[in-house]
């Protein structure tokens, strides 16, 4: 845009204009000028990394009523519209040009049509409001992993949330240079009513992976508006595919082994399968709980936490189950609660294991026990998807390398699902290929009666990343397979399963047992323990687990429990492979190696079945 600077000068104060111009990026100037012309804000504020600018955002969020202060210093709460409480996949689409190779496999809208629709929503949407321009960095700053981002929004709540979740990136942005690439985000909460987005029926979240830009309108819920999170993950997956690295829906944790040794694991789990609880295992340390970038550096796989904060589901967070998080939520520090119950300046949520008041204020307005909505549904004290937003630095178990610009070396990769009858509690894949194909690309998560009213439905979720793919599944698998090609000793890959049930329907393991599976994997990665070879991978020996249970949980672990939990269930294993194969046979781009790997594993399973029967105890393989 030839006159971008003239538009900026006209709408911005001299101070804010100088802040922006100092970044010396014509693409950025055009982006901002276009947004100003389209949304027509009353004023524009450019946020740098300076404390006074950051404080301005915080103060504006409470000044305009998007956040309200609580009794504990630094704590605020925010409400979204009653109908704006979660990600909206129906209106979350890719903007694709006709003929794009992504077009047949991703939910999309033709780009010209989508931009026309968006422009209608964005037109004059910031009249009377202040436009906020903030800069963040995905990954640590001054790093091979760094991706610079420019966010434009009229919501200080969104900008404040991002300031907790992401590293500030104004100074980092200066390194982009006049021709460098960066991610762009444009958001408006739209017309407000009672301080929340009014026209949620016009909510739109569109992503242009060809231009690295995300648009979001008529919504405040962070999952739809904090563009640097799952929306940016889609941009990053596409970018990584072109540049030979990986952007994954993974936690990063430090598992603490003997003699002060720390081994770092990444892990991908679908929702409600134990991802956050694994990242927060007592006695271990957390680098990140949600998104990781993986790169090959000096012949090793290294990774970083894309974020520096946690946007977590608060339901069932309590002093017993999540002591580190609960401590942060009940002590002074910067925390934003969303869609919880408020009574006398104190937040309450489902599962906090404290008495919850029978009245107060929540996302529905004035609330009291027994309230129902227009459809007759019970309005719970806090929403089931209520959230907290805090900086990982508030957690006592934060790993010292959480912000290391070099990243941490990946010692092992873990994939987990919700599986009542097939996978054993922990197993190491025979090699990288089998780990990617038979573990990561074969994740299933069973629904529960509490969530969908029908228990045991298996939802396929490739690498726990199904909802965020910006590539055809076949290409995504191939990228993962190829990633280890030039790594001499790629990280071992493990599967875990915390939801195995016995014949009586009861779970075979307790909630804390996951600590043992991770500590065994840590020993295995470092060659400290042997394992038993089965048709699907390496499983622990009983004596090693019994020692870990005793030393780490002060719990007796019986041979009978071990034999039941680590039994190879041949019919269920074969049925699972058949289900997954059927899915991939429906994708023309599935790599041939996927099917070859399944054939190999099925042959081993059938050989074992012929020799030992349908259900094989570990001792029979030993």
Residues identified as active-site = 273
Bridge partners, residue 305, by sequence: 292
467: which 2 tokens? Answer: 């909802």
Q: β-strand 213-217 against 246-248: which pairing, if any? A: unpaired
Question: Which residues, at least 6 apart from 433, have a Cβ–Cβ distance to it below 8 Å?
Answer: 481, 593, 597
160: which 2 tokens? Answer: 């404040």
Burial of 547 (0-12, 13-18, 19+ CB in 10 A): middle
Question: Which residues, at least 6 apart from 168, have a Cβ–Cβ distance to it below 8 Å?
Answer: 49, 54, 135, 136, 137
Q: β-strand 300-305 against 335-338: which pairing, if any? A: unpaired
Helix or strand (DSSP H, E) at 335: strand 335-338
Q: Alpha-carbon torsion 284, 290, 291, 294, what sign?
A: positive
Q: Contact at 8 Å (CB) between 302 and 380?
A: no
CB atoms within 10 A of CB 338: 27
Q: Contact at 8 Å (CB) between 303 and 286?
A: no
For residue 538, give the nearest of 521, 518, 557 by alpha carbon: 521
Q: Contact at 8 Å (CB) between 551 and 598?
A: no
529/117 Cα distance (integer angstroms): 59
SS3 label, residue 321: coil
Half-sphere exposure of 353 (CA within 13 A, CB side): 9
CB atoms within 10 A of CB 38: 18
250/229 Cα distance (integer angstroms): 12
Half-sphere exposure of 380 (CA within 13 A, CB side): 12
403: which 2 tokens? Answer: 């912000």
């Amino acid at each position: 845009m030839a006159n971008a600077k003239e538009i900026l000068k006209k709408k911005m104060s001299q101070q804010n204009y100088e802040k922006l111009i100092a970044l010396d990026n014509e693409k950025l100037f055009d982006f901002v000028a276009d947004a100003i012309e389209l949304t027509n804000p009353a004023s524009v504020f450019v946020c740098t990394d300076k404390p006074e600018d950051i404080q301005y955002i915080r103060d504006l969020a409470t000044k305009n009523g998007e956040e309200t202060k609580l009794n504990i210093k630094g704590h605020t709460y925010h409400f979204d519209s009653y109908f704006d409480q979660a990600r909206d996949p129906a209106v979350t689409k890719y903007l694709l040009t006709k003929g794009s190779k992504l077009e047949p496999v991703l939910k999309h809208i033709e780009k010209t049509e989508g931009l026309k629709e968006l422009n209608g929503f964005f037109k004059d949407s910031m009249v009377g409001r202040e436009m906020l321009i903030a800069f963040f960095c995905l990954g640590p700053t001054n790093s091979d992993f760094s991706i610079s981002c420019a966010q434009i929004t009229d919501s200080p709540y969104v900008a404040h949330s991002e300031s907790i979740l992401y590293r500030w990136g104004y100074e980092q942005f200066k390194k982009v240079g006049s021709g460098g690439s960066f991610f762009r985000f444009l958001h408006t909460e739209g017309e407000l009513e009672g301080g929340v987005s009014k026209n949620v029926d016009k909510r739109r979240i569109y992503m242009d992976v060809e231009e690295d830009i995300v648009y979001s309108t008529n919504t405040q819920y962070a999952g739809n508006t904090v563009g640097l999170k799952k929306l940016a993950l889609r941009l990053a997956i596409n970018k990584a595919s072109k540049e030979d690295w990986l952007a994954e829906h993974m936690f990063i944790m430090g598992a603490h082994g003997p003699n002060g040794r720390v081994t770092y694991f990444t892990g991908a789990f679908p929702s409600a399968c134990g991802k956050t609880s694994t990242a927060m295992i007592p006695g271990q340390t957390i680098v990140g709980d949600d998104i990781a970038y993986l790169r090959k550096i000096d012949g090793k796989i290294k990774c970083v936490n894309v974020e520096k904060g946690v946007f977590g589901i608060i339901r069932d967070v309590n002093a017993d189950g999540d002591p580190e998080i609960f401590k942060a939520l009940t002590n002074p520090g910067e925390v934003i609660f969303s869609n919880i119950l408020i009574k006398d300046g104190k937040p309450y949520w489902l599962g906090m294991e404290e008495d919850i008041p029978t009245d107060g204020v929540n996302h529905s307005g004035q609330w009291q026990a027994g309230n129902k909505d227009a459809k007759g549904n019970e309005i719970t004290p806090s929403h089931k998807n209520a959230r907290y937003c805090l900086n990982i630095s508030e957690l006592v178990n934060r790993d010292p390398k959480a912000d290391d610009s070099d990243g941490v070396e990946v010692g092992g990769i873990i994939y987990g699902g919700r599986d009542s009858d097939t996978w054993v509690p922990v197993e190491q894949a025979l090699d990288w290929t089998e780990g990617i194909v038979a573990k990561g690309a074969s994740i299933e998560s069973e629904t529960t009666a509490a969530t969908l009213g029908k228990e045991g439905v298996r939802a396929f979720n490739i690498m726990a990343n199904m909802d965020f793919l910006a590539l055809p599944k076949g290409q995504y698998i191939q990228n993962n397979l190829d990633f280890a090609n030039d790594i001499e000793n790629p990280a071992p890959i493990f599967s875990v399963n915390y939801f195995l049930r016995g014949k009586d329907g009861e779970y075979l393991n307790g909630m804390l047992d996951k600590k043992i599976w991770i500590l065994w994997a840590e020993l295995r990665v470092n060659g400290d323990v042997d394992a038993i070879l089965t048709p699907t991978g390496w499983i622990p020996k009983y004596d090693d687990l019994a020692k870990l249970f005793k030393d780490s949980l002060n719990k007796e672990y019986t041979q009978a429990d071990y034999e039941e939990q680590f039994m190879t269930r041949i019919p269920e294993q074969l049925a699972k492979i058949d289900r997954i194969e059927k899915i991939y046979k429906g994708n023309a781009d599935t790599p041939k190696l996927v099917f070859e790997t399944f054939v190999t594993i099925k042959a081993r399973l059938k050989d074992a079945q012929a020799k030992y029967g349908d259900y094989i105890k570990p001792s029979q393989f030993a």
